[in-house]
Structure 1
Amino acid sequence: MKKRASAIDFTTGSIWKLPLLYFLPVLAGGLFQQLYATVDAVILGQFAMAGGLVLSAVCVAAAPLGLRLMSVPNDVYPLALGYVQIYFAGLAVSMVYNICAGILRAVGDSRTPFCILAVSGAANVGLDLLFVAAWGMSAPGAALATVLAQGLSAALALVVLVRRQAAYRLSLGRLRFDRAVLGKIFTIGLPMALQSVLYPISNMTVQAAVNQTGTDNIVAWALCGKLDFLIWLAADSFAAAVATFVAQNYGAGQGERCQKGVRIGLGMTLAVIIFISAILFLWSEPLGHLILNPADAPIAGVTGRLMRLMAPLYFLYVFGEVFAGAIRGQGESLRPMVITLLGTCATRVLWIWLVPHNHQLLAILAVYPVSWAVTSLAFTIYYHLFRDHTKVRT
């Protein structure tokens, strides 16, 4: 069958060029996803600024109990509760899109998910303006706009897979469970799913400690999350590119090309992260003013101080992401999960529980670079041991 032009074959061609062709649409698609949250924050900032920013930090809470356990201040609790109840009602459609996008990216097609996100991102902006700015629905309106936009992206992704003439074409009438395939999916996917569940719990523990330092600090830290999203987006996108590159070449028995691709991917990721970090170090405070209401301008100063602390240390995150992607690309998901849970989740929880911080924001947030360093060191050591093992196999 003729390969579609949108799919990328990583087993031949320039190792430098191919990851970039895959990375750029994934990055751009992630930008549109982040646009959902950023537009929510900007629009809410003009009608409910503090609550809107807090919502981005507590959106993983599924019920009032979760919000109470995180010590969400009473002045923003009603907005947070309304947001998460609507947001979690739409998780099913988000899951449909992510599965469909994962199928497309696995065959090297990162362009189609980007185009879908571009359309749904534009729809989300329009719905935000309608629900929040025009109809005054505040935080619940922002959540509803996001859910409807995610529903649109899920529908478009399904249409693409149903109409695509390829081996992975989706036939809705033939949907059924296959025990053997389902077992393989669980073997690889269950550890990653468990990691995805436990990872936010550790962050909730940190957020709960931040929430006890005052509303201004909550807003400042939430604003940092609006500014440094490019760090996580770029690192995760390059890690996905490395994982796909390794998966295709590992399957083709090209072990040396796998290793070279990982080295090049690591170098490219570091270069991009250092560049973004420099921008955040120099201009985080002016960028903060673009989101904040003028009345909340002093919070931008707190945000600037936090970002000047964090920006020089973001590079520590890179090694763990890239090496984890390389390991998963070879079909190993259990051990990366264990390393992540111990290096990241356990470190953060133990830091909050055991290290005295006396409700000092900087002492609390120091847990992030510490956990990045621990996790990256563990993945670096394990990857080189794992790589030597697979080198014999290939």
Structure 2
Amino acid sequence: MKLKNKDENITMNLMTEGSPFKIILAFAFPMLVGNVFQQLYNMVDSIVVGNYVGKTALAAVGTGFPIIFMMAAMFIGLGIGATVLISQYVGAGDMNNVRKTSQTIYTAMILSSIPVSIIGFILCEPILNLINTPADILPMAKQYMMIIFAGMVGSFGFNINSGILQGFGDSRSSLLFLAIATVMNIVLDLIFVLAFRWGVAGVAVATIIAQMFSWIFGVIYMRNKYEVLNFHILEFYFDKEIFKKILKLGLPTGIQQILFSIGIMSLQSLVNSYGSDFIAGFNVANKIDTFAFMPIQSFSNAVTTYTGQNIGAGRMDRVHQGTVAAITLSVIVCLMALIVIPLGPSILALFNSDSAVIDAGMIYLNNVMPIISLLAIVFTLNAVIRGAGESVVPMIGAIVSLWLGRLPAAYYIAANYGKEYMFLSYGVGWIFWLLITVPYYMSGKWKTKSQKLIDNSIIKE
């Protein structure tokens, strides 16, 4: 349902009326298409590097990603906190606090991007050494990471724009930003790598230019479309009380993302011990299985906003309906995604035709794809719980899943049964996560948490 606010020149997409299936599907579809663009964005980098620079460069680009993600993880968590808060303010019709939240998170983003970039510059090589990066990969991985860190503000800004819009129930505008970034990245990849011969540096430069342009375009677009967002991002407005609420919602998620990133780097260290071919295959397969993860992520993001708006409007009765709808949609798409397994060798060959790389990629796909529906269920339940204002339990579940489930299982399986079965550890981790999330969801304790959040953050002025 669309509602025109009387006090602001703004049309809000409210999720408090109508079929949950239709609402979540309609909201998630533009995000899903946007995620496809995002993945094409990343895949073009790998395809260009893998075919025109070599499999060593392909492995280098993939090796640097977990480290880059770790450095940005805390701010990703804060962005999620801001999205939840904005969605609840929108549901309550409180446009004044929508503006304050948007301005505050922008100020935090811009100011934090500088130290994150500096720390990334300093730590990238030591961390690459720590995760056993092979010597033939290290120089290119370091070069790629340093360029990406230099343009980190563009990535932060792009994601903040998307988060704010999702809080409004607007998932279509972000699709436009992603389309612009994807087209620019593809064109610049071809120019910098094929014409200028810049190698992995060209891929990195193309990425930060595309992200920066898309971020700036997004700011202009949002200011023109939504009057409540018509403020200057360099005003550096900062509301301490709003930021405390963002921290309360986002800090556990940020900590979760950091610990998750460290865990992924530990897994990457194990992968790195098997050499460049295995690294390249693992990294390419990760990009392919993302096409199955994208619907899970899109439906989860949709149900987070759906939950926040319905709680903000006092419609707790609709939340469970939305949960069932999102899980059903996610699992159906996961089952459809199993087609990736028979098509896997042909898809992997698009990145690099080396048989050792293809074999390594298929080890991952054969282990992970048949059980990815487990991730769909746990991701959706955590999205609902987080949308209600409870972010500690999802954090605990993710940490236990990775550190007590996936990592120990990966090292044990690799040592006792070989690398061919090590990625079954993903399923072990997801089962651990379900054992924490499902009982908590069924207990309904998160509903009490959400009511406290409404009382403290929305009704009280």
TM above 0.5, one fold?
A: yes
Distance change (3 Å), C-alpha of 1:346 and 1:166: farther
User: What CA deviation, in whole Å up to 9, does each residue of 1:270-291 have, x standing for no partner?
Assistant: 1011111x11122111211222
| Distance in 1 between residues matched to 2:355 and 2:410, nearest whole Å | 29
Is 2:92 aligned against 1:90? no
Q: Tell me if the contact between 1:323 and 1:383 (Cα under 8 Å) persists in the aligned partners.
A: yes
Distance change (3 Å), C-alpha of 1:250 and 1:243: same
Partner of 2:376: 318
Partner of 1:156: 217
Identity fraction in percent: 28
Q: Tell me if the contact between 1:247 and 1:329 (Cα under 8 Å) persists in the aligned partners.
A: yes
| Distance in 2 between residues matched to 1:253 and 1:72, nearest whole Å | 52
Q: Tell me if the contact between 2:144 and 2:204 (Cα under 8 Å) persists in the aligned partners.
A: yes
Structure 2 counterpart SS, 1:366: helix
Q: Tell me if the contact between 1:223 and 1:303 (Cα under 8 Å) persists in the aligned partners.
A: yes
Out of 151, 166, 172, the position equivalent to 1:105 is: 166
| Distance in 2 between residues matched to 1:38 and 1:57, nearest whole Å | 15
Partner of 2:4: 2
Identify which range, 143-152 or 62-71, moves more after superposition: 62-71
Partner of 1:56: 62
Partner of 1:25: 30
| Distance in 2 between residues matched to 1:224 and 1:114, nearest whole Å | 25
TM-score, scaled relative to structure 1:
0.92
Identify which range, 314-323 or 152-161, moves more after superposition: 152-161
**Deviation of 1:365 (Å):** 2.1
Out of 358, 361, 369, the position equivalent to 2:427 is: 369
Gaps of 5+ in 2: 68-119, 455-461
Deviating 4+ runs (over 4 angstroms) = 3-7, 352-356, 387-394
Is 2:214 aligned against 1:208? no
Is 2:72 aligned against 1:72? no
| Distance in 2 between residues matched to 1:316 and 1:100, nearest whole Å | 30
Partner of 2:351: 291
User: What CA deviation, in whole Å up to 9, does each residue of 1:126-147 have, x standing for no partner?
Assistant: 1101111111100011011001
Q: Look up the equivalent residue of 1:206 and give its one-letter code.
A: L
Distance change (3 Å), C-alpha of 1:169 and 1:21: farther
| Distance in 2 between residues matched to 1:159 and 1:215, nearest whole Å | 43
Out of 355, 359, 362, the position equivalent to 1:301 is: 359
Distance change (3 Å), C-alpha of 1:6 and 1:57: farther
Identify which range, 234-243 or 6-15, moves more after superposition: 6-15
Q: Tell me if the contact between 2:363 and 2:421 (Cα under 8 Å) persists in the aligned partners.
A: no
Partner of 1:34: 39
Q: Tell me if the contact between 1:202 and 1:346 (Cα under 8 Å) persists in the aligned partners.
A: no
- The total of aligned residue pairs comes to 391
| Distance in 2 between residues matched to 1:387 and 1:235, nearest whole Å | 24
Q: Look up the equivalent residue of 2:57 and give its one-letter code.
A: G
Identify which range, 317-326 or 359-368, moves more after superposition: 359-368
| Distance in 1 between residues matched to 2:446 and 2:58, nearest whole Å | 46
Identify which range, 140-149 or 194-203, moves more after superposition: 194-203
Distance change (3 Å), C-alpha of 1:352 and 1:250: same
Partner of 2:332: 271
Q: Look up the equivalent residue of 2:55 and give its one-letter code.
A: A
TM-score, scaled relative to structure 2:
0.79
Identify which range, 189-198 or 43-52, moves more after superposition: 43-52
**Deviation of 1:389 (Å):** 4.9
User: What CA deviation, in whole Å up to 9, does each residue of 1:39-88 have, x standing for no partner?
Assistant: 11111112223233322243233411111111111112211111111112
| Distance in 1 between residues matched to 2:293 and 2:403, nearest whole Å | 17
Partner of 2:52: 47
Q: Look up the equivalent residue of 2:4 and give its one-letter code.
A: K
| Distance in 2 between residues matched to 1:165 and 1:392, nearest whole Å | 27
Distance change (3 Å), C-alpha of 1:169 and 1:192: farther
Structure 1 counterpart SS, 2:142: helix
| Distance in 1 between residues matched to 2:277 and 2:398, nearest whole Å | 31
Q: Tell me if the contact between 2:223 and 2:229 (Cα under 8 Å) persists in the aligned partners.
A: no
| Distance in 1 between residues matched to 2:414 and 2:196, nearest whole Å | 46
**Deviation of 1:385 (Å):** 1.1
Gaps of 5+ in 1: none
Q: Tell me if the contact between 2:296 and 2:380 (Cα under 8 Å) persists in the aligned partners.
A: yes
Out of 7, 10, 20, the position equivalent to 1:15 is: 20
| Distance in 1 between residues matched to 2:248 and 2:318, nearest whole Å | 26
Structure scoring higher RCO (CA < 8 A, sep ≥ 6) equals: 2
| Distance in 2 between residues matched to 1:173 and 1:285, nearest whole Å | 49
Is 2:406 aligned against 1:348? yes
Is 2:272 aligned against 1:186? no
